[in-house]
Structures are given as structure tokens and as C-alpha cells.
Structure 1
């Protein structure tokens, strides 16, 4: 969330500034007066010296190494479930400044099939997660529940009826499929009682086309108003690991230890 990131940056700068001013000026004055009177270190200095290293480490790790994110919806089933806590690689696509998300060091580019966390154009205050299916210059089509990339239909392999968690109540027509994207194979979830999002789109430069693995229940590029594409500047990073699954406050809706440590494909 933008507000959390902003608060973290402000607190880090504030405590760092207090610590620096004390080290360069105030501490010397206290030392010069030593022996004349007993002077305690100001409370704000004491707290700043204690919290600045912790805040700085958290800010660096969260901004440039890995950021935690909780899955709030079923749009990436069966690979990501509601309640999954994931880690996002923040340097896979280049290092970016906190708050502004401005890239200052290019390190790599997204590949087709990557699961990415990003800020959607119509909801920049929040982060979403989807899979990249279209790269700049690609023509993406979705007709009859079949994806095509540059005019070639993607191959699907049925894997049987979905039996996992998160199944909609009363649904008995949910199937698990293997989708062979060019360069990437992954599973997806198809609900034959739903059908959504047909069209053809050509991805412009510096943009991507993203879709959810829960193809019939995902608010993705097929349905976005005004633009169907994700700007490169909105990327937050690449999702790579599930480190916890805990649904509801204090896990009141369940804790699934089998999800811990799963690599996101």
C-alpha cells in the first residue's frame, strides 16, 4: 500500500536526520558540558538511535530485495489461493525508488508467463497480481475460452476436475487445465458455468497484457476500462514464493502449512 510505504520512508528519514544532527552537533555540546552538569540524552534522540537502523533495514529490504504481499481474491486460482502470503522479487525487473516506483537501475525484463505484482492503471493505490501473457508487440486473442498469441492458439491439456480449496459453492463443473504458453507451462482453472472477456488486443511498447489463472473469474486486461494494458512503470516485481497461508484475522478461517515454501510457477 502506498500509505504504508510513505510512512516507512518518512519515519526512516526523520529518525535518520535526528540521529545525524545529534551525532554532528548535539552530542558534542553535551560532551563539552560534561562535568559541569549532568545532562541526559533527549528522548527523541534515544528513540531515533534505536529505531533508525531497524527502519532503514526494513526499507532497503522491502524496496530493493523482497516485498510481502497477501492474496486477497481467487483470480489466480489454482496457483495462488485467498490467504496466501507471497514474496515479490523487487530487483528482477530493475531497482525502483520507493513511493514513486521510478526505475533507476535496469536489471531485467518480464517474460511471458511471469506472475507479477503491479499497480493497475485504474487503481494505483493498491497492488494486484496476475500473469503476463502478452509482451510488447504481441497480438493477444481470447475467443471461445481459448487464448492465442500472435495468431497461434495456445495448447491446453485437461488435468481433471479441480478438487482443491476455494471451490465456489455448488460448482461441479470446474476443471484444471495445463496451458502451454510460448516458453512457459502452467496450470489454470476453468469454470464452465462462467464465460468472460473475449477480444483481440495488440500490446503497445512498454506495456504488457496480463490475465488471471482463474480465467472465468478475473478482472484482468480483458476487462479493464479505457486501457487493456499494464504500463511497465506500474510493475512492482515478480512473485516467486509462498511463505504463509493464513485466511482471516488470526487465521480464524484456517491455516494451511502445506502452502509454505511453494515456488510460484
Structure 2
């Protein structure tokens, strides 16, 4: 499932705006403001000399606020400089928050139902898995690593311009087996507890619902009875195809170093690592932590399990 931001290249746009407005602000502080000050001082000297000459000639000089008006006129910032100086700190703050701390996303499709619904606005922790340089997404400081059960945002391996969100099923070195819609991790079957059927409001139909306990991380998943565990014909790996062994109704993958195996909670309605392969560490964006708004359902606000 891809996550659509307001603009797909918003981070780059923010960066360019920050550089442009910041450059103008610095130029004004260190160059233009001094030029305006010199021009104002020169105009004031000429004004004073003119008034002095008038006094010597017996003419009463201007006693109003002419001096202040002259100074104000020369010191006034051009509109483009004034707006740049006003917007620069705001843009810089948003860029820093978005790049290093938290970033908002909106959920547009149903592959993470029932955990995340269409229309959920979520907040992603950008530093949970390491500090990364914005735009190029290069990790520069190690902080933590994704754990099984985390809900993670990442760059889609087949199209890095798209952000996807799935649940971490396997970490490097894990042996993942999926058979008859049940997971086995490192030889240990994952526990499933039946729940009441789930009614999908987007596509009115009932799904089988289970509480899946993925090595100590319980969360709800959905199964659709009339669908197979996966479609073998749709498998199209980006890389490390040799790490997986597929049959008609079963597959086993050993997660390569520096990679993660991802699946959607709406298991039979999710294009995930079963089909396109593993997510490399370099593609990680961050950890989804909270739903902060849903315009059609305010009760959705809360932490993500």
C-alpha cells in the first residue's frame, strides 16, 4: 500500500525553499541591511546639511518628522526580502521536524486494515531506526533497528518515489514460512486467536479476524476465505529471489542481512514482501507511532499497535 503525501516531493520542495529564503535572509543580514544603513546615513547628512543651510539663510527649516521619514524609507526592506526573512525560520523548523523527528502521512488504501484505515492521518517517528540525511535518506547515526511487529514506513523497492507502510514480519536472519495463511518464524508457529468477523466499511463484506501474536507483539489481522495464501503468478522480486522457496500454497524465506520481510495486516489484500521481496535498510523512512486524525472518524485517534 502506498502512502500519498500532499506532494510526493514535498521534502525536496521544502529544502529548496529553505535554501532560497535562508540565502536571502543571510544576504540581507550581512550585506543588504548594511547598504541600506549607509544610504540612510548619507540621506540624513544631506538632510541635516540642507536644514543648516536654511537656518543660515534665515529660513526656518523643516521641524516635522522629515528626518524619521527619510530614515524609515531608506531602511525599509524590499518586499521580497521581508517575506523571505519571515518565512525562513518557519520553513526551516518544518523541514527539521519533518526530516529528523516526525513526518505526517495519510493512508489511502486498505492493506493495513484493521490496524490502519483509509483516511487515517498517521505520524511517523523518523529517528526510531537511525538519524538519516534528508532527501538522500542516508543513515548517519545508529539509534535502533526495526523489530518484529513494528509498523514501518519505507520506500517501495520497485519505485523509490513511493512510500509504503507494512508490518515487520522478519528481521535479518529470520526464517519465515507462510502456509495456509499462517506464519511460522524460526521454526515456531505464530499464535492465532479467533475474533469476531470484521465488517469492511469500504467494501461491504465480512472478513475472518484473528489476533496474531508475532513473537510477543499482538495485533489484529484479516483473512478472506475465498482467497489463497498468495498468488504465485504475481511474484516479481526486486532482489534476493534466491532467499525464498515457493510452492503452490507455501513459501519459506530466509531474510538476508540488512533486509526486512514486510506484510500487510489485511493479509489477502496486500501487495507486500510475498510478491516483490525484501526491504533494504537504506529504504527505511521510520516507525508509524500514532493516528493523529481521521476526518470521517475522530475516534480513530490513538497509538498504533
| Same fold, TM-score > 0.5, yes or no | yes
Alignment deviations for residues 211-243 of structure 1 (CA, whole Å, 9 cap, x no partner):
00000000000011xxx1000111100001001
1:24 to 24, 30, 52: 30
Counterpart of 2:152 in 1: which secondary structure? strand
Give structure 1 regions of 4+ aligned residues with deviation exceeding 6 angstroms: none
Give the Cα separation in 2 of the matches to 1:9 and 1:176.
43
Query: C-alpha displacement at 1:109, in angstroms?
Result: 0.9
Larger relative helix fraction: 2
Within the alignment, does 1:258 sit opposite 2:294 as a pair? no
CA contact (8 A) 2:211 2:218 kept: yes
Counterpart of 1:122 in 2: which secondary structure? coil
CA contact (8 A) 1:134 1:203 kept: yes
Q: Give 1 or 2 for the bigger CA radius of gyration.
A: 2
Q: Which residue of 2 aligns with 1:97?
A: 133
1:179 to 212, 222, 229: 212
Query: C-alpha displacement at 1:2, in angstroms?
Result: 4.8
Counterpart of 2:9 in 1: which secondary structure? helix
1:216 to 268, 272, 277: 268
Q: How many residues align?
A: 250
Counterpart of 2:176 in 1: which secondary structure? strand
Give the Cα separation in 2 of the matches to 1:5 and 1:123.
17
1:234-249 matches, within 5 Å, as 234-246=283-295
CA contact (8 A) 1:2 1:99 kept: no
* Mean Cα deviation higher: 64-73 or 197-206: 197-206
CA contact (8 A) 2:179 2:229 kept: no
Q: Which residue of 1 aligns with 2:281?
A: 232
Question: TM-score, with normalisation over the residues of structure 2?
Answer: 0.79
Query: C-alpha displacement at 1:164, in angstroms?
Result: 5.5
Point out where structure 1 has 5 or more consecutive residues left out of the alignment: 247-254
Give the Cα separation in 1 of the matches to 2:229 and 2:15.
41
